[in-house]
A and B are shown apart, each in its own frame.
Chain A
Amino acid sequence: MTVQIKTLDMEPKRQTFGHVARRLGGDKPATRYQEATLDVQATANFHYKPQWEPEYWVYDTRKTAVVMADWYKPLDPRQYYYATYNIARANMNQAVERAFAFAEERGLIEKISAEARKQIEFGLLPLRHLHWGANMNMTEITQRGYGTAVTAPCIFSAGDHLGMAQVVSRIGLLLDGQTGVSLDMAKEVWMDDPAWQGVRKLIEDTFVERDFFQLFVAQTLAINGVVFDLIYKFADAGWKDAQIAVAMLTEFMSDWRADESKWSDSVIKTVAAESAENKALVSQWASDWIARAVEAARPLSAALLGDNGAQAEAAREATIKRARALGLTL
C-alpha cells in the first residue's frame, strides 16, 4: 500500500530557462546540473581587453589550439555542481577520518619498520608538492579555459588536489609525531633529491604552458596517469610492511582518481572526437606529455622500488592504453 499526500498541482509556464531548453531541444524539465552549468559563462560583447593579455578577451576560445563548435559538449558525466561536489567529497572524506582515527588508535604508524618509514618519507610525502602543482594547473584552467562545462569541474579538481596535498601532509604528521619534521625533510627531497628532479621539472614546465587544453591533457592524462598512478597504484611494494597502512590512508586518492578520470577522460574523448584536427593535436600533446612524464617517473620508480624504472613503464603502458581508448592515436 502507498501513502499519497495530495499537493496542489500548478501548471508552470515553462519548465526551464530558454538557453537550457534550446540545448535540450524543447521546453523539458532540466536537471540541476544542466541549469547550473549550461551557458553560464558570458560569451559576447566584452568591454575591455585584459591589461595582462591584450591579445585575447578574458573568455576567449583562442586560448587553445583545439576548436570546438560548442564548448558545452564536453559535459561532466558525474553531473557535479557545487552542492553535489561538496557532498560527494564530504562523504569520501569520512573514510579519511576513520582511517586516520584507526591508524592513531592502533598505533599503526609506530609499528612500521624504519625501512618502511624511510620509504614513505622519500617516496610518498614529497607528492604533496606535486598535488599543489596540480592544484595550480587546475586553477589556471578554471580561469583560462572556455565554458562553464569544462571550467567548473576544474576548480573542483583544484580543491581536490589541495585536499590530497593535505592528506599527504597528515600522513607526514602522523609519522613525525605532529612536529612537521618529516614535511620539512620531504620538501628537501622534492627540491634537491635527484630522483625527484624530473618530476619537479615536469610540473614546473606545465606552469608555463599557455594553451589551456594542452595543459588539461598534460595534467589529467599524463601527470595523473603516470606520476600519481606510479606512486598510488604501482608502488605498493615500495611501502614494505606499511602497505596496508598506506593503502588505508590514501584511500581517498584512489577513490578520487576513479572519480576524476571518469570526467577528465570523457572531456578529452569528446574534444578529440570533434574533428580530425583536434584528434591530431590532442594525440600529439598526449604523446609528448606522457613521454615527458615517463622520463620524469623512471628515476623515481628506480629509487623507490629498485626496479630500474619498470613500474614507471607499467604506468606508461596503462596510460597509453587509456589514451587509445579515448580515441587518441599514439
Chain B
Amino acid sequence: MTAKKLGLKQRYAHMTRGLDWETSYQPMDKVFPYDTFEGIKIKDWSAWEDPFRLTMDAYWKFQAEKERKLYAVIDAFAQNNGQTGVTDGRYANVLKLFLTGISPEEYQAHRGFAYAGRHLRGVGPRVAAQMQSLDELRHIQTQIHTISHYNKYFDGLAEFPHMHDRVWYLSVPKSFFDDARSAGPFEFMIAIGFAFEYVLTNLLFVPFMSGAAYNGDMSTVTFGFSAQSDESRHMTLGIEVIKFLLEQHPDNLPIVQKWVDKWFWRGHRVLGLVAMMMDYMLPKPVMSWKEAWEIYFTEAGGALFQDLARYGLRPPKYADIATAEAEHISHQNWAIFYQYTHAAAFHTWLPDAKHMDWLSEKYPNTFDKYYRPRFEMWGQMAKEGKRFYNMALPQLCQTCQIPMGYTEPGDPTTICFRKTQFRGETYHFCSDGCKDIFEAEPEKFAQAWLPVHQIFQGNCGGATIPDVLNYYRMNVGADNMDYVGSPDEKLWNEWQADKIRTAV
C-alpha cells in the first residue's frame, strides 16, 4: 500500500464531510428542500473551510469538563447564599431582563441552528451548525440553572417562558428571533451567525456578563466565562459563513448586503434594551452604552467591514444613525419603562444624584440637556405623591415593536414617525431603518403579533390593565412597579440589616 498517512485536516475531513453522500433514491432537492428559494448560489460546497475542527469525542470531553466546573460554582453560590452578596438588590432586575428577554432566544437559536444543521446542503457548515445548536441548548439550560437560585428569592423571574410569549416589550426580542427562524437557512445564518453572534455579540452577551462581574454575581459571570469558548466558536462560524457566501457567487452580494442591512438594524433595536440595562440598571456600571458602542461597533465593526470591503460589502445602512442614537437610546428606553412600570416584569427607579452625575459625565452632549430635566421633574412629581404613570397604550413600531418613543435623527425633541401603506392599511414605524425593512418584506411584517393591537382586539385577557397583567401572569405589586417599596427591596434591606447586626 502506497497511500500516505493523513494530515490533521484530511483526517477531520474524513470524520465529517467524508460521511456525506449524494442521494440517488431520493432527489437531493427533496432531501434539501429549503436551500434554494432565497436565491443564494453555491457553486462548490467543498470550498467551505471548517472554522474549527472538533470531533464529537473532543467536544464531549471539553464541554463535560466545563460543565463540571460551572455546576460546582453554581452549587457553591447557592449553598453560600451568594445572592446576598451582590452590589444591590436592584441588580436582580438585570437578571429578570436577561431571563425573560434573552435566554428564550438562546433556545430559539438552538432550534434554528438545528434547522440550518439539517437543511444546508453542504456537510461542512451542517456539522458546524449542529454543534452550535448543541451549544445554544447549553446556554439556555445553564442560564436557567444559574438564575434558578435568584428566582427563589426575587420576583419577576418565575414566569419567564409564559411572559416571553406575551408581555409587550418581550415581543421585541421574540419577534426578532421569530423573524430569523421563519427565514430561509442562509438568511438565518447571516442574521444570527453573522450579524448577531459576530457583529453584535460584544454588545449583548459581554455587557451582561461584565455587569455580573462588576456587581458580585459570581454565578452568572462563571457562566459567562464558561460560555466564552462556545461564543468564540460561534463567531468564527459567523465570519466563515459570510465570506463563503460572498466568495461563491457575485450574485450573492446584493442578497447578503440586504440581510446585513436588515439584521444590523433589527439587532440595533433589540440592543436598546441592553443599552438601558448598562446605563441605568447596573448598580455598579461597567461602561456606558455609548462607550461600548464606540469600542465594539464603531471601532471593531469598522475594522470588520473594512476587511469585508474586498468582497464589495459595505457597512450596514443606517450605521451612522445608530451611532448617533447611542447618545440617546438608553435614556429614552429607561424613560419608557419608567412610565410603564406597572406593566413591566422588573422594577424601575429614577437614577440618584450620583448616578445622574455619572450619566452627565458619560453623555456630555445629551444627558444634562435632554434627559436630566425629565428625570428630575419625575423625581419631584414622585415626591409630591404624583408619581408619573402613562396609562395610555403606546403605538408600537410595526417592525421592531418598540413603543414609538424615539426621536428624529438630529432633533431629540421631536418624536420620529414613519408610515407606509400596504394592501390598503397604514403601518407605522419608529425609524427609516424599520420602515425599509417592512417595505422589503411587507407580507412578512404585516403579520406581526403586535402586543398593543392584540390587547385592543381582545386577545390578551380583557380590556383593562388588570386583565392584561393577569394574562401575563404578572404578580401585581411584586413583579412590577418601582423598586422602592417592592418586596425585593424589603428582603434586600433585611439581608443588609442582618449583615450589619452580625458585624456589630
Partners in one complex: yes
Q: Contact between A40 and B183 (Cβ–Cβ < 8 Å)?
A: no
Task: Name the residue of chain B whose CB is nearest to the CB of A152.
Answer: B137
Q: Is the CB of A82 within 8 A of B134?
A: yes
A18, A135, A207: the one contacting B26 at CB < 8 Å is: A207
How many cross-chain pairs have Cβ atoms below 8 Å apart between A and B? Answer: 253
* A contact residues around B24 at 8 Å (CB): 204
Looking at the complex, which one of A17, A40, A51 makes contact with B157 (CB distance below 8 Å)? A17
Cβ-based interface call for B207 (8 A): no
Contacting pair B160 A139 (CB below 8 A)? no
Q: Which residues of A contact B418 (CB under 8 A)?
A: none
Report if A204-B60 is in contact (Cβ < 8 Å); known contacts: A13-B153, A36-B141, A155-B110: no
Q: Is A310 an interface residue (CB 8 A)?
A: no
Q: Which residues of chain B come closer than 8 Å to A19, judged between CB atoms?
A: 159, 161-162
B144-165 vs A, Cβ < 8 Å mask (1 yes, 0 no): 1100100111110111111011
Given A41-B107, A173-B6: A204 and B25 within 8 A (CB)?
yes
Q: Are A83 and B142 in contact (CB under 8 A)?
A: yes
* A227 within 8 Å of B (CB atoms): no
Instruction: Let me know if A49 and B37 touch, CB within 8 A.
Output: no
- The answer to the question of A165 belonging to the interface, with a C-beta cut-off of 8 Å to chain B, is yes
A166:B55 contact, CB within 8 angstroms: yes
In the complex, chain B residues whose CB is within 8 Å of the CB of A47:
171, 174-175, 178-179, 182, 447-449
**Chain A residues in 8 Å Cβ range of B56:** 89, 159-160, 162-163, 166
Q: Which residue of chain A has the shortest Cβ distance to B487 in the bound complex?
A: A13
Q: Quick check: B57 and A204 within 8 Å, CB to CB? A: no
Q: Are B449 and A179 in contact (CB under 8 A)?
A: no
Contact, CB under 8 Å: B5 / A178: yes
Question: Which residue of chain B has the shortest Cβ distance to A206 in the bound complex?
Answer: B26
Given A142-B114, A178-B5, A48:B444 Cβ within 8 A: yes
CA distance A85 to B70 in the complex (A): 15
- The complex places the Cα of A201 from the Cα of B14 at a distance, in Å, of 22
**A42-B104, A136-B118 given; A183·B61 CB < 8 A:** no
- CB pair A86 B3 closer than 8 Å: no
Which residues of B lie under 8 Å from residue A177 when comparing CB positions? 1, 3, 5
- Does B4 count as interface, using CB distance less than 8 angstroms? yes
Chain A residues 144 to 173 lying within 8 A of chain B, measured CB to CB, are: 148, 151-152, 155-156, 158-160, 162-163, 165-167, 169, 173
| Interface pair B19/A165, CB less than 8 Å apart | yes
Task: Tell me the bound Cα distance from A50 to B183 in angstroms.
Answer: 6
A82–B227 Cα distance when bound, in Å, is: 13
Interface of chain A: mostly helix, strand, loop or mixed: helix
**In the complex, chain A residues whose CB is within 8 Å of the CB of B413:** none
| A residues near B15, Cβ cutoff 8 Å | 165-166, 169
In the complex, A267 Cα to B400 Cα: how many Å? Answer: 39
Q: Tell which of A48, A155, A201 touches B179, judged by Cβ atoms closer than 8 Å.
A: A48
Chain A, residue nearest B55 (CB)? A166
**CB of B304 to closest CB in A, whole Å:** 28
B426 within 8 A of A: no
Q: How long is the Cα–Cα vector from A114 to B1 in the complex, in angstroms?
A: 14
A122 at interface (Cβ–Cβ under 8 A)?
no
A185-205 toward B: CB 8 Å interface, digit per residue (1/0)?
001001100000000110011
Q: Is the CB of A48 within 8 A of B144?
A: no
Most buried by A among B15, B79, B179: B15
Residue in contact with A82 in the complex, picked from B4, B55, B141, B487, CB distance below 8 Å: B141
A32 touches B145 (CB 8 A): yes
Interface flag for B372 (CB, 8 Å): no
Q: Select from chain B the residue with minimum beta-carbon distance to A151.
A: B111
CA distance A160 to B134 in the complex (A): 12
Complex contact B130–A155 (CB within 8 A): yes
Residues of chain A within 8 A (CB-CB) of B14 are 169, 173, 180, 183
- Asked if residues B182 and A143 are in contact (CB atoms below 8 Å), the reply is no
Known: A169-B18, A208-B30. A139 touches B64 (CB 8 A): no
Contact B178 A48 (CB under 8 A): yes
B358 sits at the interface (CB 8 A): no
Say yes or no: is B80 at the interface (Cβ < 8 Å to chain A).
yes
- Which residue from chain B places its CB closest to the CB of A48 in the assembled complex? B182
The 9 A-B pairs at the shortest CB distance, nearest first, are namely A163-B56, A90-B64, A12-B152, A179-B3, A132-B19, A83-B67, A143-B114, A142-B114, A36-B141
Taking A58-B178, A143-B111 as given, write out 18 further A-B residue pairs in contact, using a Cβ cutoff of 8 Å, ordered by the A residue number. A10-B81, A13-B155, A13-B487, A17-B157, A18-B162, A40-B104, A40-B144, A42-B174, A48-B178, A51-B183, A83-B67, A89-B60, A90-B63, A152-B137, A166-B56, A173-B6, A190-B21, A207-B26
A-B contact pairs, 15 of them (CB 8 A): A13-B154, A16-B148, A44-B165, A45-B174, A47-B178, A48-B445, A58-B111, A58-B181, A82-B63, A82-B141, A83-B68, A96-B57, A155-B130, A165-B19, A169-B18
